[in-house]
Structures are given as C-alpha cells and as structure tokens.
Amino acid sequence: MIKSSRPVLAGLDIGTTKVCMVIGVVNEVGVVDVVGVGTAPNSGVRQGTVVNIEATAESIRKAREEAELMSGYKVEEVWVGVGGTHIRSFDSVGMVAIKSREVTQQDVERVIEAAKAVAVPTDRSVLHVIPREYKVDSQDGILDPIGMAGIRLEASVHIVNGSQTAIANNLKCVEKAGLKVGGLVLEQLASAMSCISEDEKNLGVCLVDMGGGSCSLVYLVHGSVAHTSVVPIGGTHFTQDIAIGLRTPQVSAELLKKAHGLAMASLIVEDETIEVEGVGGRNSRTILRKDLADVIEPRAEELLQMIGHDLKMSGLMPLMGSGLVISGGTSQLPGLIEMGEFILDVPVRKGTPAQKVGGLVDVVKTPQYATAVGLLLYGQSQKKYTRATPMKDDFNRREAGLAVSGIGKRIKNFFEEMF
C-alpha cells in the first residue's frame, strides 16, 4: 500500500436532505487544500436522526465514491458531524489544588476531568467537553492558565451530549458504507470553525447552521463556546409548505424553492410569473412569483422569531457584538438576511467556508459545505489525520499497462499481416 506523502483529512456531513463528503490535504504552509467533494441526496435521516440505515449508508457510499474519484485518494477514516434535535448541552465547574504552585498541563487535564465528573443520564453520550475559562485563586477570565502561579485552579466547561441511540445509528451507517469513524464533532461547532473569524469569536457571535431538518445554534463569547441549542425547523419545512400551499409534488416544490424562492414578498416585482407542476398528472399552471413568496414568508418569519427567542433565553444577547452568522443550505434563501436583521435587530451575514481553505475553493464556497469543511479544520486542529492511499498511481500504472499491451497487439498484428 502506497501512503500519501501529505497529511490527508476527510469530513462526512450526514444531513436530512443530503450527505456530503469532503477530502482535504494539508499543504506545505499548513493550510488545508480541498481536493475532493462528493454529495448524494439522502432520504434516511429526519431532523438529524437516522430513520433508515440502508438508505443513509447507500448515500454515504455514493458521496464517498464521488469525493475519492475527484481527489484521487482512497480514504479509510472520516470525521463525522453529529447534530439534530437530540443534542443537549450544559455548563459545569471543576476545581483542583495546583500541585507544584505552578499550573502545568497535568493540572489542566485534572481540572477538566473534575468538571466532567457530573451525572449524565445512561442513555446519553458526551460528545465534547469544551473549556470556557479558567480561574486561578481569585483571578478569573483566564483562557490559558499554564505557567501561572497559584494554589487553586478552577475550570468552567461546556458539556455537549447526544442520544446514545441516535449516535450509534449514525456510526452504524458510516461503518456499513465501509468507513471507520475517526471522531465525532458537533455540526454547528464544525461550521463555526469554517465560517467565523477570530475577531467575531472574541466580540461574541452566534452561528446558526440552517440544515434540512433543523437549525443548530452555537454561541461563542470571548473566543470559546458559551452555549449550544437546536431550533426544530429546517429547509424541508419550507418545501412542505410550498408543496401544500401551491398543490405541487415535493420534488417540484424543492426545485421551486431553490430557483425562485424568496423570504420577503416585498422584494418581488409584481408581474413576475413562474410555472408550477400539477399533482397526479394534472396540467402545469402559471402563477405569480409573489404567491410563492407569500407561502415561504410566514415560515421564514416563524424560524427567525424562534431563533430570536433562543437568543433571549440564552441570556447571551448583550454579548453578541458581531451579531448572527447563518450557514447551511437553507441560509441561501434570498431575503433571509434582510428579514433576519429586521426581526432580530442585530447584524446578520451569510457564512461561507472559502476563506480558511485552499484547493477547490470555488466548489466549497457556498454555505451548504460549511459543516463538511469545518470537519477537516477540526481534524487538523486535533492533529488526527486519516489513513489514505493515492489512487492516481494505480490508475496511471493501469493506463500505462493498457497502452503498452495495445502497442504490443498492434505490432503482433502488423507482423502477422506481413508474413
């Protein structure tokens, strides 16, 4: 087996409407170059929870094949994004005595273990234990305590957990598709890594990853995760509203949403028309584009009001100096940013993962790839790379072999004809 000369990373985003796999290699200057992207539609997940293992595994296989073919690498291991309505989180505090009157890495590990020692229900699995801040004796607000003098060390951590059953089903789908799981990462945390700048993290920002089944939120204050939550509305709810409101098949409703959808009817020219497919073989009909926007607008308003309620309930609204960043496929709906700024009264922008990676930037510069690209960046931050085999060498050797055998055959035929 020929191993890759450069570190290889692979990220797998198992969504409600699609599965996305991204393969990246770390270049000489330490930047992740995206070299392969694969997507496949998925019908086996509902609101982040697997409801059909076979369908999901098949979608993962298709996305993997596409990504491997594009990148030229055969990968064995992936970082997997986990999200959905089953995710919960809470804060915890731990305290230990500093052994040698100076904080060491061992003290930090001990205090995080002490903070982790809380009762988590048996049906829940801990995904992340994220340190928020440290306190040495009476001095608080410390982000890195190593080397500081003191007697007592305290740590405030944010613990993210998910349903054991939902996570186990996710793992089963990945393994059924012939891949090993390198690690599990909270989806909105991965999206934040790919879309949010250091300045925004320090000023305070809320990232909303708008997926097909739900919207996942992560709040970052003073550079660290302060809170995570989920709003149970996503892109599929918009599609269902269009299908019912305009009496059209689901597939047609999805296409209408992507091609002509708009969150604010007031942004449309009055006489603009669109074609709508009928249900059950009925004839297509022409309607005003404004009618489509009238169906979408109430759902967009409801979603943003629920996000606004979540912001208020978190108690972190005054700390959101950078406002809101939206990513995910649903965030591409035109008019959503303008409506968000009006309803929430905070700055809103669309988050794309193009700034932090190289390689196929034009392919992954849309918000729908935020999670998958973020998984690569998370893997790089953990310095945990995947085992990968270059496929190009084998392909070239096979092509060369065919070419040589072809020449040999032509020479043989030539001599046979001559003699």
* Tens of pLDDT, residues 203-223: 999 999 999 989 999 999 988
Judging by beta carbons within 10 Å of its beta carbon (0-12, 13-18, 19+), is residue 132 exposed, middle or buried? Answer: buried
Confidence (pLDDT) at 411: 45
**Of 298, 328, 350, the domain-final residue:** 350
Confidence (pLDDT) at 3: 54
25 and 1 in a single domain? The answer is yes
- Phi and psi at 161, nearest 5°, equal -135, 160
| Angle formed by the axes of helices 164-176 and 53-71, nearest 10° | 50
Both tokens of residue 92? 């915890």
306 and 379 in a single domain? The answer is no
Q: What is the tally of structural domains in the chain?
A: 3
Q: What is the CATH number of the domain that holds 100?
A: 3.30.1490.110
Judging by beta carbons within 10 Å of its beta carbon (0-12, 13-18, 19+), is residue 4 exposed, middle or buried? Answer: middle
Ranges of residues in the chain with a pLDDT under 70 are 1-4, 392-419
72 and 32 in a single domain? The answer is yes
**Of 350, 365, 387, the domain-final residue:** 350
Contact 179, 77 (CB under 8 A): yes
For 171, the domain range is 1-87+162-196+351-419
CA distance 87 to 240: 24
Predicted model pTM:
0.87
Confidence (pLDDT) at 413: 53
- Closest Cα partner for 44 from 27, 61, 28? 61
What is the DSSP code string of 236-256?
HHHHHHHHHHTT--HHHHHHH
276 and 379 in a single domain? The answer is no
**Of 350, 377, 404, the domain-final residue:** 350
Q: What is the CATH number of the domain that holds 206?
A: 3.30.420.40
384 and 341 in a single domain? The answer is no
Confidence (pLDDT) at 395: 45
150 and 253 in a single domain? The answer is no
377 and 256 in a single domain? The answer is no
- Single-letter code of the amino acid located at 268: I
344 and 304 in a single domain? The answer is yes
Across 215-346, where does the E strand assignment appear?
215-221, 224-231, 273-276, 285-288, 324-327
Strand order in the sheet with 124-136: 88-97, 152-163, 124-136, 139-142
Confidence (pLDDT) at 396: 43
185 and 265 in a single domain? The answer is no
8 and 109 in a single domain? The answer is no
338 and 357 in a single domain? The answer is no
294 and 368 in a single domain? The answer is no
